[in-house]
Each structure stands twice: as C-alpha cells, then as structure tokens.
Structure 1
Amino acid sequence: MFDTTIINRALAASLIAGLLGSSAIAQEVGKSPWGPKDEIGRLNLITPQSRAAILGRIDGGRSYDLAVEYFIGMPSWEAAGDPPYQMWMTHTPHGTAVSDPMKVGKEMNDHVSYTGSAVSMYAHMGTHIDALNHFGLNGKIWNGYAAIDHLGDQGWTVTGAEKLPPIIARGVMIDVAAAKGMQMLPDNYRVTRKDLQEALDAQGATLQQGDVVLIRTGRMQHYENASAYMSNPPGLSIDAAKFLVEVGGAMVVGADNLSFEAFPAETENNYVPVHTYLLAQQGAPIIELVNLEGLSKDRVYEFAFVGASLKFRGADAAPIRPVALPLR
C-alpha cells in the first residue's frame, strides 16, 4: 500500500512553514472569472450550444460505460484512515418471513419476497468526481471561499457536490500507456507534458476548450486486486496538468487511478500540488477511477462524454456514472 507517512511529513512541513511565515508557500486559490458567487468553476464552459454541438455528432452505435463496480474489498483509502465500502442486507426473503417487519403475515411474506440492502462508503471511492472544495490552500478553496465561513458540521455551504451540473461535453482519452507500447505504466511513473503530447500525436487527436480529458495509465487492469491497484500508482505531474488546462483548455481532467497524481510530490511545500492546482487554483473538477479499458481496446479517442454525479449536499465528492458515446 502507499506509505501515508510521505503525505503526513509533507503536510507537517507545509504547516510549519506557514506558521513561520515562510515565503515558500506562494500558492493562492484562484478567483473565478465567472464572478464572486461562482461555485462550479470551469464547468461554466458547458453551454446550450456546446451540448448541442457534441450531441449532434453521436453516431448512435456503441456506448462505453466508464464506471467501475462497487464491491466489498474494492480499492479505497483505508491506509489514510477512511472507511472501506460496505454493503449489507437489511431484508431477505427468509428473514422477512421470520420477523414480519411489515406486519403482513406469514402467508403474504411467503408469497411476496422482500430484499433490501444498505451501503456505507467514503465519498472518494469508485468512479467519482471531486468537487472544488476537496482541496484548498491557506484555509480557502476555489474562488476565495473560506472554510471558517462556509464549512459546517453538515458539510460545505458552497461548492458542494450537489452544485455540479450534469456534464455533457466532448471527451478525449489520452492513452499514455498504449503510446509507450505498454499495457500499464510503471509504479510511481509521473506523466509529463511530453508524454501527453506524444500520445496525442500518436492518436491523431487534439484538445479543445471545454473538453473532458481522461488519462489512461493502464492501472485499471489491477482494479479487482485492491492492494496492487493502490500500491505506488502512476499519476500526473504538475506540468502535465498545466498543459491540459492552460494549453489544451480542459474543463475536467480524469484518470483511471485513484491517486490521480504521482507520489511523493514534486514540491516540498504541497503534498498534493496537482489536486490543489486543478481544484483550488483553476476550478477544474477531477474524475478518478475512470474505466478506460474498453475505449483503449477499440482505439476510441474522441467521444461525447455524458455523466451526472449524485447530489451529495455539501460533500467534497460524489459517485458519477459516465458514458462515452463515439462520434461520427
């Protein structure tokens, strides 16, 4: 499993530097060009025109489910102290016949079987989207919202997962692993801007403003083995993230791993610089654990991306069920 002491030490160093007034921490959260009340960042790039344009190009053939399954024992951040996924039965046909919770009698329970279940999970499990409050800098998140003013016992009053609109946009997969002739990138591999550009060139693809850009490392092939999936994953570099947003115009960035960025961090004063750059400074949501294996197999690099997350009020993330629809 990933050694969380790396994170803890880097976080401690950042906090100490801040207390000492170190000038090393120069990063600040971004202010939205969409106004002081903006809570969705670059998702403002979705317009009626952009939705219509991409939906009008769908070929009507095959669709690709980009979500993973949730199951007991699935990859999770247990090493960081977060709860694993749990599912249990609240009602079973036999149990209902015995306890008769609806008070309808044995004959009715024998005739009408009743099955019910419940789940418990960390918000950052399975295919999910990070809201803009997931990571911040110096007590603030995207657009200058301060935790002291907007974070209560029941979550954030701004930028919660319930504020994220359905995402309908052009999607582009950048298959870095395939471009390198690999099934999967090596452990701890840090994807660079050069890697992304070479993969785009190999695919004959280009980026456009407002894209949902998804990076394939091949790590999804380990998904059924939580230990292998979570251990020392590859991820994005800061330069690669900047390339996607500042040069490519990406609206949302995603990948097929859970950490998204590679560890240990490239910077001494920030243990998750890619997350804070995208979420807190650029207002770009992150989608993690995207299953890109089907797209990779069929070499589908451009598509309509359609996905809506659950409306977890005040939450910093929520499950999302994205679908890729190839274009004409």
Structure 2
Amino acid sequence: MADSLPKSEDRGQGSGRPLFEDLPLRPGDPAFSAWGLWGSEDEIGALNLLTPEVIKAAAQQVSEGIVVTLNLPLHWPLDSLNPRRKALVHNIIEKGFANDDEIYMNTQTSSQWDGLRHYPYQGCSLFYNGTVQADIAGEKASNRLGIQNIAKRGICGRGVLLDWRSWVLRNGIQYSPFSPHIIPLRELKEVAKEQNISFQKGDILLIRSGWTEEYQKLTRAQKTKLAEREVASFVGIDGDVEMVKWHWDNAFAAVATDTIGYEVMPFSRSANGMSIHEIFLSGWGMPIGELWDLEELAKVCQKLGRWTFFLTSVPLNLENGIASPPNAMATF
C-alpha cells in the first residue's frame, strides 16, 4: 500500500484492504477508485490479490483431475454484436509443402478479458492509476497498462461460479438474455447461499446468465437480426452502488460472465452516474471477462456438487494490447 495511505489496521479492517467507504483513497481521484493502493506505478490492479499464498490455497481445489475449458470458438458469435467491430477472418494459406493460416480478429468479440486500457472514467477520460489516453495511442504512447502485464503474470486462483441461470429457471423467473434484464444483488446472494459459497479474498467470480445457452438456440437468421439491432441490450448485473460495494467487500481479483457486458446493457450508470466498467477496470484495475463459455462448467459443478475450482488463464502476450481471448480453464 502506498506510504501516504493509512494502514488497513488503522482503518479497522484486518484484511489489508481499505473500507469501501474510504474510496477514493486520495482527494481528487475519481469516485470509488483505489488508485495508489498497490503503488502509483502499479499496472495489474486487483490481480495483486493473487498472492503466492492465495494461489497455493486455490490449487487445493484440484482433486478429481477434471478439466473444463471456458473459451468460445473464436468465430463465435457468428456476427459481431457491435457493428463497429469486425467478425473473425480466418485464411488458410497453402504453401505446397505445408500450410499456414492467419487470422484477423477484434479482441472484443468472442470470449475475452477486458484489459485496463479498455474503458476509462468517462467524466475525466482517465484509466487506472491516472493513465491518460495519450499513453494508450498516438505518437507519445507507451506500453502502460497493456495486456502484456497480465499475460506475463498469468491469472490463476480459486474460481467461483454463481449459476444464476439455473436458479432463475428453478424459481420460475421469466426473462430474455437479449433484453436489458437486471440481475439484482439480492438474487446473487440467494444463489451463493443456495450453493453454500463463502467467498475468499482473491476469488475469481464467474456469473452464468444463460446468454450463451440461449444464443445457441437461435437460427442463423435470428443471430443476424440480433447483431443488426441499433441498441445492444443484454442481461447483466445491476450497476448500483450496493453491487459495487459487494464486489469490493468480497475482494475479487477478477470477474467474468457468459453475457456481453457483465453489467446490464445498456449500462445503467446507477453508481453515481458511472458504469461498473469504469469502476472495475479504471478504478480498481480489475479485469472483466465477457462471453465466456460456462455451460459445461455449470454441468460439472452440478454433477460434483461443488462450485469452486482452480482457474487458470493466460491472455495473449500482446504488447500494448487492450483486450485478449482468455485462454481459460477450470480444473477440479
């Protein structure tokens, strides 16, 4: 923690983290930000929670030897759900004596990590720890906050799946994943209670919304129509302050989901006018995973009667990268 900040013990919290009510940590910083918590030059944010001790404890999740990959095919969804983002292009190159291939892809399509360069505080255009747009792109750009920082470190820790999708179906709640249906905090808490989950510092939280399951049921024409909508509207978590506080208090290292934006889309911006993307990515330096394949994971969790596992992810080691396929898997 930066020398200018009071120690957590002085704040009445023995976990080594400031209280949510103490955010932002420094006068003048954006609301809810934790800039300086890991030092002013830090570039990995909440991933600092994945200490050797946390990783060693998480490795104890491996007992059955079952591996579940969490990545959708790179060409999936079939059409980009944002008209400004190109869908995957894959070319096979015949060389006579061998074959090569090449791909073009926007890293914001298919399964992904949103990195710390992706979405700044909209009111001031500042990224994590005060990084400015000129550091991201342009003649004076640096490699600050690039996805290579996460790739070189890797992400591994205890993953926790909240299978909200199964819970709402059992409780007869009707909704469409392709509408701005809000997942409220009280329902996430009910799922965690039913699954007998006790969160631990450094957990990687996964939330299953049913988006992927329902998308697989669509016809080709329906998928095209979905991609052509003028306004992207999808299921996601509530964006209010109570939800933000819950994430901070549980000290998650990263979060991911099977839907498009993790939070409901369009963004509700109900946390003092800000979105969760702003606070998580640029306030806390916490990666957000989107469009992960959680279907097989949910089946294995249900079969084993456990919702925690050892999660590993190695993003692309792309200097200055904004986002990346997660290359993630769960091991039981």
Distance 1:304 1:178 in 2: 22
Tell me how far apart the structure 2 counterparts of residues 272 and 85 of structure 1 sit (CA, whole Å): 31
Pair 1:319–1:241, CA change in 2 (3 A): farther
SS at match of 1:119: strand
Q: Equivalent residue for 2:106?
A: 122
Q: Specify which of 145, 156, 162 is matched with residue 168 of structure 1.
A: 156
Q: How many positions carry a matched residue from both structures?
A: 282
Residue 205 of structure 2: aligned partner: 213
**CA deviation after TM superposition for structure 1 residue 213, in Å:** 0.1
Deviation at residue 62 of structure 1 after TM alignment: 1.3
Deviation at 1:77, TM superposition (A): 3.9
Counterpart secondary structure, 1:195: helix
Q: 2:63 aligns with which of 39, 59, 63?
A: 59
Q: Is the 8 A contact 1:132 1:285 kept in 2?
A: yes
Larger Rg: 1
Q: Is 1:132 matched with 2:135?
A: no
Q: 2:327 aligns with which of 297, 311, 321?
A: 321
Shift of 1:171: 0.5
Q: CA RMSD in A?
A: 2.7
The equivalent of 1:16 in structure 2 is none
Give the match for residue 299 of structure 2: 297
2:184 is aligned to 192
Q: Distance in 2 between matches of 1:206 and 1:191?
A: 20
Q: Is 1:234 aligned to residue 235 of structure 2?
A: yes
Q: For 2:87, which of 68, 84, 87 is the aligned residue?
A: 84
Q: In structure 2, give the amino acid aligned to 1:78.
A: N
8 Å CA contact 1:68–1:290 kept in 2: the answer is yes
Q: Please, which runs of 5 or more residues in structure 2 have no aligned partner?
A: 1-29
TM-score, normalization by structure 2: 0.77
Preserved CA contact (<8 Å) 1:174 1:214? yes
Sequence identity of aligned pairs in percent? Answer: 22
CA contact (8 A) 1:42 1:283 kept: yes
2-side partners of 1:195 and 1:207: how far apart? Answer: 16
Residue 56 of structure 1: how far off its partner (Å): 3.1
For 1:24-76, what per-residue CA distance to the aligned partner results, in whole angstroms no more than 9, with x for missing partners? Answer: xx747541311011001000111122111211331142111111112276252
> 1:34 is matched with which residue?
38
**Cα distance in 2, alignment partners of residues 200 and 268 from structure 1:** 24
For residues 264 and 71 of structure 1, do their structure 2 counterparts lie closer, same or farther at Cα, with a shift above 3 Å needed? closer
In 1, Cα distance between the equivalents of 2:204 and 2:271? 29
In the alignment, what sits opposite 2:19? none
Q: 1:147 aligns with which of 130, 133, 136?
A: 133
Moved more, 53-62 or 199-208: 53-62
Structure 2: how far apart are the matches of 1:184 and 1:171? 28
**Cα distance, 1:296–1:184 mapped onto 2, change above 3 Å:** farther
Q: Aligned partners of 1:177, 1:201: CA distance in 2, in Å?
A: 15
Q: Residues 238-257 of structure 1: matches in 2 within 5 Å?
A: 238-239=239-240, 241-257=243-259
Instruction: Give the Cα–Cα distance (whole angstroms) in 1 for the partners of residues 243 and 191 of structure 2.
Output: 15
1:301 to partner: Cα distance: 1.1
Q: Which amino acid aligns with 1:234?
A: V
